Amino acid sequence: MRHFNKIFVSLLGALVAVSTSKAEVWTVQMTDKPPYFQPAHLKINLGDSVVWKNSGPELPHIVITEDQTIYSDDVSVHSEWSHTFSHSGIYSYLCFRHFFMRGTVEVTKVHSEKL
């Protein structure tokens, strides 16, 4: 019976830890000069958000994924745009106005500790 109680308490603790994990907000700075996206590569958890902030100094940018599932429209200088990731995977994105500006977001499922 004690063994069962230990397992039950461990499982309950794991469920509470997973259900109370908070989504994070990550920031990518966009600039007109290299490095264009800073950081250019992010690894985040499912449910996290990424905010792209245009630091300029002069050009608007558009964030778009290669499969066009994410599209920001124009992000003016000193403006920002965000997206919350609800599916895991690797998202390769670029600036629609400036194809040499590229980055990736890798979205992974939140993992709890092994019991």
DSSP string, 11-62: HHHHHHHHHTPPP-EEEEEEESSSSSEESSEEEEETT-EEEEEEEESS--B-
Return the exposure string of 35-62: e unless at least 16 CB atoms fall within 10 Å of the residue's CB, then b. ebbeeeebebbeebebebbbebeebbbb
Q: Is residue 78 part of a domain?
A: yes
Alpha carbons within 13 A on the beta-carbon side of 3: 0
- pTM over 0.85? The answer is no
21 confidence band (pLDDT: 50, 70, 90): confident
Residue of 34 and 110 predicted with greater confidence: 34
Tens of pLDDT, residues 32-66: 999 999 999 999 999 999 999 999 999 999 999 99
The predicted model gives 11-20 an average pLDDT of 47
Q: Is residue 11 part of a domain?
A: no
Full domain range(s) for residue 27: 23-108
- Evaluated on CA atoms 67, 72, 74, 75, the torsion sign reads negative
Question: Looking at the domain assignment, is residue 32 inside a domain?
Answer: yes
> Does residue 13 sit within a domain?
no
Q: Using one digit for the tens of pLDDT, what is the confidence trace for 80-93?
A: 999 999 999 999 99
Domain membership of residue 62 (yes or no) is yes
**Domains contained in the chain, number:** 1
How far apart are alpha carbons 36 and 54 in whole angstroms?
A: 10
In a domain, 70, yes or no: yes
Which amino acid appears at position 80 of this protein?
A: E
List C-alpha distances in Å: 28 to 3, 6, 15, 16, 25.
48, 43, 32, 31, 10
Answer yes or no: is 2 within a domain.
no
- What is the domain-level CATH number for residue 32? 2.60.40.420
Residue 103 lies in a domain: yes
Residue 1, token pair as written in the block: 């019976």
